[in-house]
Amino acid sequence: METTNENLSRVPDELTEEIKKLNTVINRLYKKQSFMRSFVNGVFMGLGSVVGATLVVAVIVYLLNQVNLIPVIGNWLSQIISEALTNLAY
């Protein structure tokens, strides 16, 4: 009878230690999953931002092209570039 009581008194201590070990393993796995999830979310957020900005710029350029404003901007930019290049030569 004594050995049974001793064995039963050790069981909660052993279970407590095992639960602590399991909690440690689970926390490590959760941190790894959390890091990977954050990384993947960041990659897709960046990719979505680039694609969205590209679409917005494409629509703006298309609309400006319909108004025939692009040639005016192109001539203006070419004048600015030529002025900058001549100033660099001095």
7 pLDDT higher than 70: no
**What is the per-residue pLDDT across 33-52, written as a single tens digit (0 to 9) for each?**
778 888 999 999 999 999 99
62, pLDDT greater than 90: no
The answer to whether residue 65 scores a pLDDT higher than 90 is no
Q: What pTM was estimated for this model as a whole?
A: 0.46
State the average pLDDT over residues 52-69: 81
Beta-carbon count within 10 A of 41 CB: 10
Give the pLDDT of residue 8: 57
69: helix, coil or strand?
coil
- Report CA-CA distances (Å) from 32 to 10, 25, 26, 43, 62: 34, 11, 10, 17, 45
pLDDT of residue 52: 92
